[in-house]
Amino acid sequence: MGNTKNTNRRAIDQVTELNGAVGSNTVFEGQLRGKGNYKVAGRFIGDCDLEGALLLDKNGLWQGNITADIVVIAGEVEGNVVANKQLEVSRTGRVNGRLTSPVIALENGAEHEGEMHMTQSHQFTDRRA
């Protein structure tokens, strides 16, 4: 019998390559639009609309709104976040704004100030005895 465990449960596991990055000592001001997966380790001032993933590093600061298919936040966001597929905020992540996604995961220790809206309802069976 093979392993049936879902190894792609975390959003970060679904990102296989990066198309661009903003480095840790960089400040970028403007718009990020298009397709692909991007990592931000520095400061980004502006809005994002991506078909792909946005990964905000633990030292990253995003000031503006984010829209992407997959969003993983380990740094700080001052703005609203819309993830069309999946949104994760790690234990080092902080968000001051609205979170919207079909799937939202907040790791223990993550900080969120604002509204949270899950766009789909998921049912599950608790398999713990």
User: Which tens digits make up the pLDDT trace of 59-84?
Assistant: 999 999 999 999 999 999 999 999 99
Domain ranges of the chain: 34-115
Which run of H or E residues covers position 3?
Answer: none
More confident residue, 92 or 1: 92
> What letter would DSSP give residue 82?
E
Based on the number of CB atoms within 10 Å of its own CB, is 5 exposed (0-12), middle (13-18) or buried (19 or more)?
exposed
> What letter would DSSP give residue 1?
-
What is the C-alpha separation between 48 and 70, in angstroms, rounded?
12
- On whether the CB atoms of residues 114 and 99 are closer than 8 A, the answer is yes
20-46 per-position pLDDT tens digit:
888 999 999 999 999 999 999 999 999
* Amino acid letter for position 73: I
Share of the chain above pLDDT 70, in %: 81
What is the C-alpha separation between 61 and 27, in angstroms, rounded?
9
Which 3 state secondary structure label does DSSP give 13? helix
Q: What are phi and psi of 127, to 5 degrees?
A: -95, 5
